[in-house]
Amino acid sequence: MLLSFYVGVIIMEYRILGQSGLKVSRLCFGALTIGPMQSNQPIEEGAGVIAKAIELGVNFIDTSKLYNTYPYIRRAMEITNNKDIIISTKSYDYTYEGMRETVEEALKALNVESIGIFSLHEQESVYTLKGHGEALRYLYDAKKAGKIRAVGVSTHNISVVEAVSKMPKIDVVLPIVNYKGIGIGDGTIEDMLKAVHNAKLSGKGIYSMKAIGGGNLLGDVKRSFDFVLNNEDIDSIAVGMQSENEVMANVLMFEGKEVPEDIDSKLRKTKRRLLIDTWCLGCGKCVERCTIKALKIVDGRCVVDTDKCRLCGYCSSVCPEFCIKVI
């Protein structure tokens, strides 16, 4: 289903997220980037970025318990006086009680009576899905009680997308999809797209993550967006944004429009840096890959020399844990 909403010259497209029935904007605001794990913006500043996206028609926000961004989202809803935003959040909880506490905390922190989508975060295999059976049981109960509207699973792995397609009570899948297949844990982008297609046929709502490969495809944002936008199986695409200019540029690109030169020029001048996520295992594969020797292992974790790093992103292509991002 395709609906349109006009904001000035901008047309925001909405789609129905599979069996969840939720109507979401094609552009989903990825909240990780504004929070403490990445750009660590003051609440008012980060909330202002989300509010800009809401003003331009974005009604869908992706976050997680881990990201610590509920205060930004709550404040953005206050600024825009809009409580109809569909929030998708997730957690690693695996027990019934743990997940119950997490959902209650989220409802309170966001100051809402119901959350759009609550997902198991970053499932790695059929076995981890089984291991989270009790947490899922709580999510199904929470849906019946109206505390959440849909149950989801986020993953970097094809085998999980395939398994979830056979689980009728899961409404939404959040897989990693980008044209280079960066970050896919167990196969190629072609395999992932087949699994996503089958998930779609089984009634799942699909919204994808990491369209620009965790910042590693920033050199070709248009190609990266076109790849996911031209895939009819994908209802919405979560994109991390950390400034109002990024919001404006992404909204325009999602509409196939040109980004004005002044905005484009400011974005090109944005200072970027390499981020090594905390779950780095210190395997050293990235150190071997970096020919200019900008990486080393210190106390079992990779550390970057920012004076040397040219942000080429080559090191991220060999990281088995998808730890290396450009932000």
Instruction: Give yes or no for residue 327 binding ligand SF4 (CB under 6 A).
Output: no
Cβ 183 to ligand SF4 shortest distance, Å: 11
Give the DSSP H/E element, type plus range, for residue 60: strand 60-62
Q: Which is nearer to ligand SF4, 112 or 304 (CB)?
A: 304
Instruction: Identify residues 299-318 at the interface with ligand SF4 (CB under 6 A).
Output: 302, 304, 309-315, 318
Residue 25: helix, strand or coil by DSSP?
A: strand
List the strands of the sheet with 23-25, edge to edge: 3-7, 10-16, 23-25
From 7, 145, 201, 292, residue interacting with ligand SF4 (rule: CB under 6 A): 292
Asked if 145 contacts 139 with a C-beta cutoff of 8 angstroms, the reply is no
Instruction: Give yes or no for residue 151 binding ligand SF4 (CB under 6 A).
Output: no
Tokens 């970027």: give the residue.
272
Query: If we measure between CA atoms, which residue out of 181, 182, 183 comes closest to residue 194?
Result: 181
Q: Which is nearer to ligand SF4, 280 or 327 (CB)?
A: 280
Rounded to 5 degrees, what are φ and ψ at 304?
-105, 140
Cβ 321 to ligand SF4 shortest distance, Å: 4
Record the tokens describing residue 47, joined without a space.
Answer: 């909330």
From 134, 263, 321, 327, residue interacting with ligand SF4 (rule: CB under 6 A): 321
What DSSP letter does each residue of 228-294 carry, written as one string?
A: HHT-TT--EEEEE--SHHHHHHHHHHHTTPPPPHHHHHHHHT----EEE-TT-----HHHHH-TT--
Cβ 181 to ligand SF4 shortest distance, Å: 16
Number of residues that bind ligand SF4 (CB under 6 A): 28
Cβ 313 to ligand SF4 shortest distance, Å: 5
Residue 130 neighbours by CB under 8 Å, 6+ apart: none
Residue 190 neighbours by CB under 8 Å, 6+ apart: none
Cβ 286 to ligand SF4 shortest distance, Å: 3
Q: Which is nearer to ligand SF4, 130 or 310 (CB)?
A: 310
Record the tokens describing residue 256, joined without a space.
Answer: 């196939």
Q: Which is nearer to ligand SF4, 111 or 306 (CB)?
A: 306
Cβ 322 to ligand SF4 shortest distance, Å: 8
From 49, 150, 294, 325, residue interacting with ligand SF4 (rule: CB under 6 A): 294
Cβ 214 to ligand SF4 shortest distance, Å: 12
Instruction: Give yes or no for residue 135 binding ligand SF4 (CB under 6 A).
Output: no
Instruction: Give yes or no for residue 319 binding ligand SF4 (CB under 6 A).
Output: yes
Largest CA distance in the chain: 56
What DSSP letter does each residue of 129-151 carry, written as one string?
A: HHHTHHHHHHHHHHHHTTSEEEE
Q: For residue 44, what are the CA distances in angstroms to 71, 72, 77, 111, 293?
A: 9, 7, 12, 17, 39
Cβ 186 to ligand SF4 shortest distance, Å: 17
Instruction: Give yes or no for residue 217 binding ligand SF4 (CB under 6 A).
Output: no
User: What does the per-residue mask of binding to ligand SF4 show for 262-291, with x meaning CB under 6 A?
Assistant: ------------x-x---xxxxxxx--xx-
List interacting residues with ligand SF4 (CB under 6 A): 274, 276, 280-286, 289-290, 292, 294-295, 302, 304, 309-315, 318-319, 321, 323-324
